[in-house]
Structure 1
Amino acid sequence: MKSLLTDQNPADDVSVRTLLGLGASHRDIAHLRQLQLAPLRGRGSLRLWMGVAMALIAAFTMVPHVRSVIVAGWLTCALSFSLWSYRSFATRPLGEARIAGPAEFALCNRHAFYSALLWTVPFWLQGLSPGTDHALAMWATTLLMMLTLAMIAHSLPTVCILYIAPVSLSAAVALVRAGAPQLAVVAVAAGLLLSFFCIRFAQNHIRFRRAEEVLHEKSETVSLLLREFEETSADWLWQTDSNRRLVHVSPRLAYALGAAADALEGQPLVQALSGDAWETGNFPRSLHDMAERMKRRESFSNLIVPVTIGGKPRWWELSASPRLDEAGKFLGFRGVGSDVTEQRVSAEQIAKMARFDNLTGLPNRLSLNEALARALDQAQSARSRCALLMIDLDRFKAVNDTLGHPIGDKLLAQVAARLKGMMDRSMTCGRLGGDEFAVVLHQAPSADEAEEMARRIIATLSRPYVVDNHQLFVGASVGYAIGPQDGATVETLTRNADLALYKSKDKGGNVVAAYVASLHAQAEERRVMEQELRGALDRGEFELYYQPVVTAEDGTLNGFEALIRWTNQKLGSVPPGRFIPLAEDSRLIAPIGEWVLRTACHEAMRWPANLKVAINVSAEQLTDPNFASVVVSALAQSGLPPHRLEIEVTESVFLRDGGGAAQLLDQLIGLGIRLSLDDFGTGYSSLGYLRKTQFSTIKVDRSFVVGAAKGSIESIAIIRAVVALADSLGMSTTAEGAETEIEVDTLRALGCSNIQGYYYGRPMPAADVLTLFRPPENLATAAA
């Protein structure tokens, strides 16, 4: 049950009837009586000595007017009553909660009434008509007694009235009998006024005690909440005086600061937070900001400040507001703080993750864009130049496809380390994603400087890598654009550098390409071509042409090479050299290659059984683990014997692969399919390829054929070496691009096994191929 104090407004007065105990019982009357009795607690001795002193004074006053025996009798009674009253209350701790308030209240009232009866007697000890002098003397003594009682028992108006009323009335009657009615009126008036003031004093006392207990209750609640806050929360409270020095340092704050509370008491807050920096004055900016706000007596909230605790940096979040007294005087600051170091570290880590690449630790696209923006602003303001280099790794996809992404990730980390090692203060490198990187040159005096840097990057990134005992080779293609001439914004310069990179990739990779305005038209053409290419198969726009391959010795036809042609309604006839690389980049080469394989096998079944068909396969197709099953399916559906199918590959298959393509080629050889190494001599011409894979044929590029026919010693030597190598390994040789009789005779003389070129026939549609096998009479019949 709530107490009387919390049930009522402290400003409200308790009714007079309730104070006097005349009205209905209050719902918490016991607590009210305890408040009234509390001022009497510990004043038993004072009441005793007051009673003794007043009794002696009264007896001394009565001696001239009353016989000594009577005075002695009354004095004995008065002293005995004082001692009895003292002993009655000595064992009763008045006003305590464990004491029943109303019972003690009634006991006080009875003793007050008994005392009043005792003190009315002296007025009549001289007789029913006392003398004026005796009545006045006794009235002065009892008045002093009433005033003293009112001061001691002011919270108990009933006690005061029970004493004052009988004594005042007795004094008034005695004064009337003594012939002083005017003094009798004064005595009554004095009694009434004193009683009235006792009631008002009692009400004020109760009002004050109510406010005091409400304040105490609130203080206890606040203290309880603060204790609970400090015990259950990671935060702590702090407080300063008007000079911004710590006061009332809590144990939690002392623990957070790593010092004793006594040592921190009176220490400036900034000194406690700054650690060793206090001596130098080299504070962090946020700590300066907090000090300035406190100096201006301003509130602050959620202010993050760096602090030094035990020589280690920490981050605290502080909030505080100034303290003012009732008069508005500044007392200091009171606030709350918490250690947010872990949250700060987590936030910084998240921010770093948002701006840096997790795998390589290099700046990501966002950071690179910001660096490029700064470089462009600087270049425009200083009328200088900057550059953006876009880098794409060559042959990286093959590493992922054959050795797995973990190996690819480690390779990317090594690439990033090499790239980072090339940077100086005027450069920023980063990873855009996948195997794409970029370098921002904040100062590029000329395009030559950017191109030289690009060539250095290619040379550095093209060196061999060793990852988990695998030796890997990747190259790099670089495209660059100069700012602000090639683009005044980040978006424009990035797009143009990207176009230059496409140009570099189109050239075969491992080269540098600069941005030129014509690249926009090429990019648009490429976009349109890719869009048309995606629907070419469904629209049936592809067609296979076949070029004859003959035996060099007697010119006998022994097979055809299948060559794809594309005729589009918008683009017209598109050369293979233009759309094949695009098909590889856009991942369309697999479905197109499968169509070529199935169509060629189907057409070859209509030829004589001694003729084979050769099909070009790109490196992208050989990285597809399903390619072998596609070949088997094509042979099975068409019925073509495996030995009549020849797969042509280039050296790029091995350069872009870590071993997976070689395994796939071995599977095809196991099926009885023939393999041909195309363009041998124009690339690395590594003999290791011939040792690892059992090729059936080596093809000699047309450039050597033309050179040999013109008498080039180098070309003749190369062809002879290739023929000798093939013969020793049990392989045949096919020379490509023979167009004249001189070239044919030269190739025969050099020992080539097969010849292919316009001299024996241009690529022709499948229908024209079939006419080569019809008997003459069938041709005449068909003509008729």
Structure 2
Amino acid sequence: MLAANITGAIATLWLLRPWIAAWQLGLWAAVTLTIAGVVAHRRHSTRHRQNGYASLADVRNTGLEGLALGFIWSVVPIVFCPQTAPGVAAGLGIVMAIMMTAAAFTMAPLVLATLGFLLVLGLALIGRLAFEHNFAASAGFSVFCILLVAICISRARGLVALRAAEIALGERDETVSLLLREFEEAGADWLWETDKGRRVVKASPRFAVACGLDPITINGMPLLQVLAGPNWDSGQFAAGLHELAGRLNGREGFRDLRLPVYVGGEERWWELAAAPRHDERGGFAGFRGVGSDITEQRASADKINRMARYDALTGLPNRLLINETLGRAMAEAEKWGGRCAFMMIDLDRFKAVNDTLGHQIGDRVLSRVSERLAQMMESGTLCGRLGGDEFAVVVPDVKDEDALLHSAQRIIDTLSRPYEVDQQTFYIGASIGIAIGPRDGEDAETLIRSADLALYRSKDAGGGVVHAYEPQLHAQAEERRLLEMALRQALEKGEMHIAYQPVVDAETGNLGGFEALLRWQSTEFGAVSPVKFIPLAEEARLIAPIGAWVLRTACLEAARWPGHVRVAVNVSPDQLQNPHFVTTVASALANSGLSPERLELEVTESVFMHEGLGATKVLERVLDLGVRLSLDDFGTGYSSLGYLSRTRFSTIKIDRSFVQNASRGEREAVAIIRAVVALADSLGMATTAEGVETEAEHRMVQGFGCTKVQGYYFSRPLPVAEARALVQKRYDSRAA
């Protein structure tokens, strides 16, 4: 339409330029193209209308637009033609006829706009011809106009009928697709349908049974009454039911709407999805949808979500909940001018228990420690486990520092009493560091750091004591400074090396790959634990070069192995906050010649606690290289289901604490492992059970459906030479 107006305007200007003043032609052309441009813009802005229907006001506006175009073009025969020669007038008549014919075809679906344009311009031409006493031409042009109007109306009817049929068919296809998709993918159990009064119609037997009613009784009942159950009379509805009522009132489609319902006096959780349905004339006829009972899935998800705030081994709050509680306590202290305290507790001599008697005994001792701590807590005071053998206590209101120190000493005395486990007696002490807010820190993070420094001082003093934070803690700071200096030179001195721990197939026991584990043998400090130097490397911003070295070394080593053997490399959250990490991975693969699918990067859940720093985007770019991604230590930190659906993990690693607890018959650990395996299967992910140390544990994780296992039962972390020998041995046996 816009092209026709532009072409016609150019032709008109060309014919009239010798006869009409330039300013008159310019003014007319500007107004004509402005009106045509505005009309074209409105057409373009409404061409993607979602619901397929136009309002009455929209249709009327198109008629006004047609009249406006007709009036501006009628200036040509009425005003301009009298000032031209007969030959030019004939040419202008041809242009007008072409414009009218083009309008009849290009704007045919908008019949009001077309008729307005044709009638105004046609009457102007007919009137001009009659004014010049050219009655034959006037009559012929009248017949031409009538034919164009008839063609326009006929074509408009056909186009509108065809479009209406397409819209209706599309809506039906969308509804059917929604029902099938929800039924097949979401595991829906039944269908439901309502009329436009939101009353249940055509109730299926499965839907009636799910509601605890018979199909005859349920038909005709309001859907909201069926779902509200005994709460219908009281009017106390769940938030999900209010949302459902709003969607039904607004005649809006919805999906994944979860709400509680009561069936036979028992609370169940349902998930509903529906779309509005229309009759043959496009009128609203009600809703048709699907529903499923997700009570069991919700219970499993609740168990997994609980791991986000509670420690699986001890049942105490974990680091996340401790931080949140401390943050609230500090806010209250600042608001009311009070004080709060944070105690950091570290067990003494606990490492010896783990090293000599194994992690199973160590975990049982930790459980006993948590029980003693929980029994000592006063009202309002929270104790939790930070991780490993570290615990914390948040005291929201501190009135007497001496009383606080006395409570800390009482904790040490209580935890230092002997423990009886498996007819063995253990003596483990405790050291405590205390920081008081807001004096020792204006926020939770600073206060925790202050308590940590105080704890270092307690450990340096030999343990078994409590120290409050002091501004000058020289001994601890000096030790960390020296360790950091040594760490900065560790790579240059060749003190770093990698140990490789095998990962095997749970069913066959075949070697599937290795996990690359960084080790530091310092000439000054001896063998430094990764638990000690990895956090220091992150804090000192040394993790990037160290991590890049580990990645290059592991890829070069894995390139020597057979093609089916993979290598897994742990990646720190700090590395993923660096956009250049993607280049590091690509370079390591290119220089080693290792196939991307043979490299697996292991990340922990803490990566997703600071998504604003870009770690998730870096992971997506790494995945685009073809590298596999594993979620390590799932359930021990900030577990959430959201990032599992947003990130393309290939493997979920189940922490060893769950494996060990399940081997002892703890039902909660068994339920959690089953839930994680089921979740991984549904998302197309593999599961690796860590810390498998006995044949019984191996058989147990096989029964749970874990696909891979890793632990001392198969092998400890091996030096590179022994890892090569193991690969060659397995390769030779497979070849044989």
TM-score by length of 2: 0.41
TM-score by length of 1: 0.38
Q: Which has the higher contact order (CA 8 A, sep 6+)?
A: 2
